[in-house]
Amino acid sequence: MTGILDFSYMIESVPAIAKGIPISLSIALIAFIFGMGIGLAGALVKIYNIPLLKQIFGVYVSFIRGTPLLVQIFLSYYGIPLIIRQFNYLYGTDINIAFIPAIYFIYVAFALNAGAYLTETIRSAILSVEKGQVEASYSVGMTTFQSLKRIILPQALKVGLPNIGNHFIALLKDTSLAFAASVPEIIGMAKIIAGRTSQFFEVYIVAALLYWIICIVLERIMNLFEMRLRKSEKGVRNG
Amino acid sequence: MVKITNLQKYFKRHHVLKGINLAIKEGETVAIIGPSGSGKSTLLRCMNLLERPSEGTIQIGDTTLEAHHIDKMSLLQVRRSTGMVFQNYNLFANKTSLENITEALITVKKIEKGEAEKIGYALLNTVGLGDKGNHYPSGLSGGQQQRVAIARALALNPKLMLFDEPTSALDPELVQEVLQVIRNIANGGLTTIIVTHELEFARDIADRIIFMDEGLIIEENNAKDFFVSPQHPRTRKFIEKFTQQSLYYI
């Protein structure tokens, strides 16, 4: 074999590595959905200054931002089974830890991680909506909830979308850390395949290209979303 | 219609309203004037509880509010029976002008959408913007935005209209179109309170002028006597400045 790369091997290995794509996507998507929920709750707790919860969220966000994701994965992977064991012991339940797939611990770690970062992003997006519009919504008798749902959040979403989209892309790339908990996502699969032939470079190039393609597609989707949300800036609604 | 007794407001240590007593009859048009920082806007904002009063009682229609025990129901009730127009229009940027008006009808009054839109278009016509229903606030001039804001405030059929310096943010050539709409409302018999720097306009439309300074009502009188023979030295000084200014304009 001459040259740096064995192209035919690279092409051959694509299907096997691509098997990791659904797992990578599922981690990113589930973490993102729960992370958005946590982030919205955290943002509202901070903005409305709810005592106790505000402090709890403060410590949580600080901890997540101050520790590496890899460490959070380990804490979740090794810690949650211990907590379940203690729960079994205290309440006489019989949850079999061995039967819980590792990916669930990954979901937890990634959701908590995304939630912390999204708390700050969503908070700043909500605060970007003019206070006057909030007052106007109150002045016509809307409740805090109605005002949030109909006036504030739709506009905050528009402002926050680019950042939220970046979080999602970052999250997707971070799923490559899930191999540390032996979850067969893209990198996990790549490691397994490369282990057989020792052609690590080729396999990792394929993995890199797969991530790249996914991210390009995601960016496209995000742009479409943004364009739809920006309709109110055109001045007039068509039709 | 409105009865305010010993209304006080603190912002932290800052004493903004120092005991306001005021009664306004149904159908009356009252203009509140005074220098910046005199508490006029705060007084207006207390009337629909965008600011929580620190002390005193406010009675709007049948609802009485005690500063220390304002429950959520009466708060919403007061806001739903008063219309507020802001200095900066504060239109909902994500909604068209029609939707700005129908929003409260649909979410608050639970009126069905088609019906709400009928009311919305009727109101847009009253403020002379019947053809702008599809425009977003970003596609309207300041004067048009403020007229939409007035229509939005009228949508819930309020018993009391509050205007908080409605023309202060407008380009001079757009002031008249907004004032005309306000004049129509006041002349139509709706109880109206307007905080304004447009003294000439205040004299034209108001039944009564209230002059505030440093958190107190210094003087109140019917519009004609107020400007012709102000009693208090501070009022006189304020009006003098105004008449001098208009000389410059001529």
pLDDT band at A237 (very low <50, low <70, confident <90, very high): confident
**Chain B closest-CA separation from residue A155 CA (Å):** 6
Taking residue B16's Cβ as centre, other Cβ atoms within 10 Å add up to 19
Q: What are phi and psi of B204, to 5 degrees?
A: -65, -50
Q: Mean pLDDT across the stretch B32-45?
A: 94
Determine contact: B138 vs chain A, CB below 8 A.
Answer: yes
**Cβ–Cβ gap B134/A237 under 8 Å:** yes
Using an 8 Å CB-CB cutoff, list chain A residues near B96: 232, 237
Question: Of A136, A138, A232, which is closest to B94 when you measure between CB atoms?
Answer: A232
In chain B, where are the structural domains located?
2-86+159-249
Interatomic CA distance for residues B178 and B188, integer angstroms: 16
Q: What are phi and psi of B54, to 5 degrees?
A: -85, -35
> Which domains are delineated in chain A?
7-232 (1.10.3720.10)
pLDDT for res B47: 95
Q: What is the pLDDT of residues A170-194, one digit of tens each?
A: 999 999 999 888 899 999 999 999 9
Size of interface A-B (CB pairs under 8 A): 88
Position B250 pLDDT exceeds 50: no
Interface of B with A in 57-86 (CB under 8 A): 76, 79-80, 82-84, 86
Using an 8 Å CB-CB cutoff, list chain A residues near B93: 130, 133, 155, 232
Reported ipTM: 0.92
pLDDT for res A226: 87
Tokens (6 digits) for A131: 């206070």
In CATH, what class is B2-86+159-249? alpha beta
Q: What is the pLDDT of residues B57-112, one digit of tens each?
A: 999 998 999 999 899 999 999 999 999 999 999 999 999 999 999 999 999 999 99
Q: Mean pLDDT across the stretch B161-174?
A: 93
Position A1 pLDDT exceeds 60: no
Q: Which chain A residue lies closest to B158 (C-alpha atoms)?
A: A140
